[in-house]
Amino acid sequence: MHTLLDTPAEDLLPGLLPLVPGLALHTLRRIQAAVFRNHGAYPAGLPEISPALLGRLAAVSPLPALRLLDRRTSPRDGFSKFLLRNPGLPGDFEAVSIPLLHGRGDPKTVACVSSQSGCAQGCRFCCTGRLGLARSLLPWEIVAQVLAVRAAAPAPLRGVVFMGMGEPLENLDAVLAAVHILASPCALAISAKAISVSTAGIVPGILRLADPSAPPVRLFVTLFSARPEVRGRWMPVTRRHPLPELRDALRRYHAATGRRPTLAWPLVAGVNDSVSDAVALARWLDGLPAALDLIDVNDPTLSLRPPSDAARNAFLDALRLHARIPVSRRYSGGADILAACGLLSASAQP
């Protein structure tokens, strides 16, 4: 059932009118905006809206809510992790609050949300992948994660990244519904350009995001390796969508949207951090307009290690020599509370 948490007021009104006679669109929009200001619950009252009408609406269209099972904040870097449950369904999931400091005195918060409980993709460098898939999340469950992060955030919420548990492009209808409501002026009014969607490389989903009707979100693709045998071993999705097919989809995405995808590269010592790995990436790019995010792998079992500074620098030097691609090192915070990239497991708490 759709509610004010996951559906714009204009789409809800026709279904609500027989149940709440006299409800007008501008009234429903005001109530929706108030619900979002009130962290996802109906307000006790609203000026110029009769308590009877508000009560009738709340009775016929109750708002679901997540239960917060645990929240912890890293004393090191201020990242917070929220363990959440929909009391009506199995499968817990996590959201992360990321504090950003852009310039002096302008702190911001970004919400990192899950699109699934667990994940079926089985990437070997990721704790979530080791869980398997419990289920895909509903649109309101995604929106409610953002509300939970915003309610506790020390600074204004300015963006959302779909980089938590799960493969967003395997639950794309729900993700797009959530993006639609997050961007709505009556909800959180977060520009779609401030929303990032990350994928392991699900080609049909990338092509859907290339469609002119899709919102202009930023696309991140975890590449990990441009060597087919290495990527196939570490990211089973490569068997379904081989590297040439993925590159073709990214070319089409760039041609259709004008936006450059960002390739995420979790660096694992001895696996994908050598000069020949950088050369293979340069060859694979073959002029594809993209940016690269290097992330040191996080592994609580310590069987996977990030590269040494010397190896990382050699990788970067080779990349500069062979490819023109902007490279950033992504800080993956909250490692001490298992909130960093690849560490979400909805159960193991330090």
Q: Which residues bind ligand SF4 (CB under 6 A)?
A: 119, 121-123, 126, 128-129, 165-167, 200, 222
Pick between residue 184 and residue 272 the one whose CB is nearest to ligand SF4.
Answer: 272
Pick between residue 114 and residue 184 the one whose CB is nearest to ligand SF4.
Answer: 114
CB of 30 to ligand SF4, least distance (A): 38
Residue nearest to ligand SF4 (CB): 129
Integer-rounded Cα Rg, in Å, for the chain is 21
CB of 122 to ligand SF4, least distance (A): 6
Question: 272 — phi, psi (to 5°)?
Answer: -140, 30
Pick between residue 167 and residue 277 the one whose CB is nearest to ligand SF4.
Answer: 167
Dist CA 199 CA 197 (whole Å): 7
Q: Are 201 and 235 in contact (CB under 8 A)?
A: yes
Strand order in the sheet with 93-101: 67-73, 80-85, 93-101, 107-112, 157-162, 195-199, 218-222, 262-267, 291-296, 327-329
Structure tokens at 305: 């290690």
Pick between residue 32 and residue 238 the one whose CB is nearest to ligand SF4.
Answer: 238
Dist CA 259 CA 294 (whole Å): 19
Pick between residue 54 and residue 119 the one whose CB is nearest to ligand SF4.
Answer: 119
Residue tagged active-site, from 48, 94, 119, 141: 94
Residue 189: HSE in the Cβ half-sphere, 13 Å Cα cutoff = 7
CB of 198 to ligand SF4, least distance (A): 7
Structure tokens at 170: 């395997």
Q: Cα 61 to the chain's mean position, in Å?
A: 28
Of the candidates 137, 53, 50, 47, the residue with the CA atom closest to the CA atom of residue 95: 137
CB of 97 to ligand SF4, least distance (A): 18
Q: Alpha carbon of 166 to those of 79, 92, 146: distances in Å?
A: 20, 12, 16
Instruction: Mark whether 94 is an active-site residue.
Output: yes
Pick between residue 78 and residue 334 the one whose CB is nearest to ligand SF4.
Answer: 334
CB of 343 to ligand SF4, least distance (A): 10
Residue tagged active-site, from 112, 123, 127, 341: 341
Dist CA 73 CA 332 (whole Å): 14
CB of 129 to ligand SF4, least distance (A): 3
Structure tokens at 182: 């997050």
Question: 22 — phi, psi (to 5°)?
Answer: 90, -5
**Side chain identity, residue 221:** V
Pick between residue 177 and residue 223 the one whose CB is nearest to ligand SF4.
Answer: 223
CB of 167 to ligand SF4, least distance (A): 4
Cα torsion at 121, 125, 126, 131 (round to 10°)?
60
Query: DSSP secondary structure string, 289-323?
Result: --EEEEEE---TTSSS-PPPHHHHHHHHHHHHHH-
Residues marked as catalytic: 94, 341
